[in-house]
Amino acid sequence: MAVKITFEIIGSINFWEGLHEFFEKLISGGNTLLWGYVLIAVLLKLDVYFPNGSRFAQARYLKEMFRLLKIKEKAPENTNR
């Protein structure tokens, strides 16, 4: 009886190690796929979509951005700092 239990424990350990290796390979493959080709494709599509959707706000407001960077605002008088 004791020998049979020992073999069952050893057999289950091999099963769990095999299952662990299977999931490790599955997740690694999915990770490579998602962070490789799929991510590049999604980023390229978004690179076209967002500027078109905002009517190229990056280029339209470029001059305004530099104008706002040059303005120096005064701090409020009633600050507790």
Q: For the segment 24-55, what is each residue's pLDDT rounded down to a tens digit? A: 999 998 898 888 888 999 999 998 898 888 88
Asked if 58 contacts 51 with a C-beta cutoff of 8 angstroms, the reply is: yes
Work out the mean pLDDT of the chain and round it to a whole number: 80
Between CA 34 and CA 39 the distance in angstroms is 6
* Count of other CB atoms within 10 angstroms of residue 61: 13
- Whether 75 shows a pLDDT value over 70: the answer reads no
Residue 43 and residue 50 in contact, taking contact as beta carbons nearer than 8 Å: no
* Cut 0.75: pTM above it: no
> Domain residues of the chain, as ranges?
2-70
